[in-house]
Structure 1
Amino acid sequence: MNVEQAISNSLDSNPLARTGVVYVIDDDEAVRDSLALLLKANGLKVSPHESAERFLTSLESTDLQAPSCALIDIHLGGISGIELQEKLLDLNINIPIAFITGHGDVTTAVHTLKKGACDFIQKPVKENALCDLISQMLSKAHSIQEQTTTLEQMNERFKLLTPRELDVLDRIVAGRINKQVGADLGISIKTVEAHRANIMEKLKVNRAANLVQVALKYQAAKAQRLI
């Protein structure tokens, strides 16, 4: 099986993989062009870049909501591949990345994987490994996009809550019953019930258990700076 057939078969089994963008960042023109031509020939959108600096500049005018992934050479001139990974994390640009290198080492590989890289592969890249990797990364990109959309919707709903409703919600999450919430805030039980009803309507939940679950997810997302 040749390279094109291997990649095509893998991508055909995963329709989502053909709807994203693959960034190729490599200062070796021959490698960069070879990868770009190969991926384009198999129906993928490819955005090649000769340096981390040019890649980062291109992102300033790019719709980051579109599913994408990146193949990055570890030993780039200027900003290195590892430094690029750090910058993407600092900018909160959450796209799946994998490193390609001609002379890597275990320590470097472990470092990049701990920082969230999907893989660390040696040149020359094996065809089957490449197609599987691209398919997995673009599937992950779609999942990230879906999660981001869900979190944005959740954040918008929480913005509708008034300060008093947030006070009530905090106590509900802490396990306080209506009578205790009322005593804490100096309001009647009926007022607490009215606030609870408004909260559930704004957050689009219909059960108390779901209300607590949504609130905990929101708190966790804020703690992780996802929203």
Structure 2
Amino acid sequence: MACEAETEECAPDTVVIVDDDPLVRDSMDCLFRSVGLSALCFSSAEDALRADFPDGPSCVVADIRMPQIGGFEFQEQLHQRGDDLPVIFVTGHGDIPMSVRAMKSGAVDFLSKPFRDQDVLDAVCSALNTARQRLAETRTTNIVRERFATLTARERQVMTGVVRGLLNKQIAYELGLSEITVKLHRSSLMKKMMVRSVPDLVRAEQLVAE
């Protein structure tokens, strides 16, 4: 199966299954657990939205056609509450317009029931890779913001000048400081931000601004 080669890597990952068909839920639950994945099963989008999902890499496999809240609305509500989980849509009544809408909504994949085990495993592994990447990016951004928070007001002013491409003497003129003082602030902020070059500092500034 698709995830067997990645079982150790995928072991702590979670698949959130949202489907009102108990046979489909149980089948996917057994399938994912057979390759070392954790699974959370919900019979409705309402139940899933009331739950707390794991902090680690996770993705969602959701039926599009469900009572009350359907798959598309469920995805929108996930985004609204801050859960940016990759979503795989499944349906027993799919058509081209629906598949196009699913892709435009940012879904990782769109599968028509009945689907092959291999197809859903491939889609889930792709979704979990996306989830890992998003988590890594979030952690990096948080670390950079924590470092930025340690800068003094003056160091932040100097940093702004550096990322604008100004020379030390130009920054000194704008801030009414001596060039030596600017150099000291620049050296200090580079150490606090843990960067060695101006391009690295520019990237850090972009992460802080996101």
TM-score, normalising length: structure 2: 0.92
Q: Paired residue for 1:49, among 42, 51, 69?
A: 42
Q: Against the structure 1 CA distance between its residues 22 and 42, is the aligned structure 2 distance closer, same or farther, given a 3 Å change threshold?
A: same
Q: Paired residue for 2:4, among 12, 16, 31?
A: 12
In 2, Cα distance between equivalents of 1:133 and 1:114: 17
In 1, Cα distance between equivalents of 2:15 and 2:98: 23
Give the match for residue 22 of structure 1.
Answer: 15
Q: Paired residue for 1:77, among 67, 83, 102?
A: 67
Give the match for residue 125 of structure 2.
Answer: 135
| TM superposition shift of 1:55 | 0.6
In 1, Cα distance between equivalents of 2:46 and 2:16: 13
Q: Paired residue for 1:150, among 120, 140, 143?
A: 140
| TM superposition shift of 1:82 | 0.3
In 2, Cα distance between equivalents of 1:125 and 1:33: 14
Matched residue SS, 1:69: strand
8 Å contact from structure 1 (residues 17, 139) kept in 2: no
Tell me the amino acid that sits aligned with residue 129 of structure 1: D
- Alignment partner of 1:214 is 2:204: yes
- Alignment partner of 1:125 is 2:115: yes
Q: Paired residue for 1:199, among 175, 181, 189?
A: 189
| TM superposition shift of 1:111 | 2.3
C-alpha RMSD of matched pairs (Å): 1.6
Q: Against the structure 1 CA distance between its residues 197 and 94, is the aligned structure 2 distance closer, same or farther, given a 3 Å change threshold?
A: same
| TM superposition shift of 1:123 | 0.4
- Number of residue equivalences: 209
Tell me the amino acid that sits aligned with residue 95 of structure 1: L
8 Å contact from structure 2 (residues 64, 89) kept in 1: yes
Give the match for residue 171 of structure 1.
Answer: 161
Identity of aligned residues (%): 34
Tell me the amino acid that sits aligned with residue 39 of structure 2: V
TM-score, normalising length: structure 1: 0.86
Tell me the amino acid that sits aligned with residue 155 of structure 1: R
8 Å contact from structure 1 (residues 16, 139) kept in 2: no
Give the match for residue 179 of structure 2.
Answer: 189
| TM superposition shift of 1:85 | 0.8
| TM superposition shift of 1:24 | 0.5
Q: Against the structure 1 CA distance between its residues 42 and 13, is the aligned structure 2 distance closer, same or farther, given a 3 Å change threshold?
A: closer
In 1, Cα distance between equivalents of 2:112 and 2:71: 14
| TM superposition shift of 1:90 | 1.6
Tell me the amino acid that sits aligned with residue 11 of structure 1: C
| TM superposition shift of 1:209 | 3.2
8 Å contact from structure 2 (residues 63, 91) kept in 1: yes
8 Å contact from structure 1 (residues 27, 50) kept in 2: yes
Listed as ranges, the gaps of 5+ residues in structure 1 are 1-6, 223-227
8 Å contact from structure 2 (residues 88, 124) kept in 1: no
Q: Paired residue for 1:111, among 87, 96, 101?
A: 101
8 Å contact from structure 1 (residues 16, 142) kept in 2: no
- Alignment partner of 1:180 is 2:170: yes
Moved runs in structure 1, 4+ residues, more than 3 A?
none
| Cα deviation 1:142-173 (Å, max 9, x = unaligned) | 22222221111111111112222222111111
